[in-house]
């Protein structure tokens, strides 16, 4: 899913990190990087559709947590 200009896709990790991407694909890649670095036991456990369902479009927002 592409976002409207100025919007980002944001998903909240249970650890409190906000993970963001301009598209669903970018968001999924960011989530995978975050999991690899911070939650390696969960790497591969989340299908893309699950990440997309957890995400929301947010206008002008920037993530507060780290993606990597």
Which residues have C-beta within 8 Å of that of residue 65, sequence separation ≥ 6?
Answer: 13, 15, 16, 17, 18, 19, 34
Residue-wise pLDDT tens digits, 53-67: 999 999 865 555 545
Residues counted in the chain: 68
**pLDDT of 16 over the 70 cut:** yes
How far apart are alpha carbons 14 and 4 in whole angstroms? 26
CA 67 vs. chain centroid, Å, equals 8
Which residues have C-beta within 8 Å of that of residue 40, sequence separation ≥ 6?
Answer: none
**pLDDT of 47 over the 90 cut:** yes
Q: Where are the domains of the chain?
A: 7-59
**Residue written as token pair 């690899």:** 36
């Amino acid at each position: 899913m592409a976002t409207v200009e100025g919007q980002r896709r944001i998903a909240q990790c249970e650890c409190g990190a906000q993970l963001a991407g301009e598209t669903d694909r970018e968001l999924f890649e960011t989530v995978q990087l975050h999991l690899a670095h911070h939650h390696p036991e969960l790497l591969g456990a989340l299908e893309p559709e699950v990440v997309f369902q957890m995400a929301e479009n947010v206008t002008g927002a920037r993530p507060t947590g780290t993606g990597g």
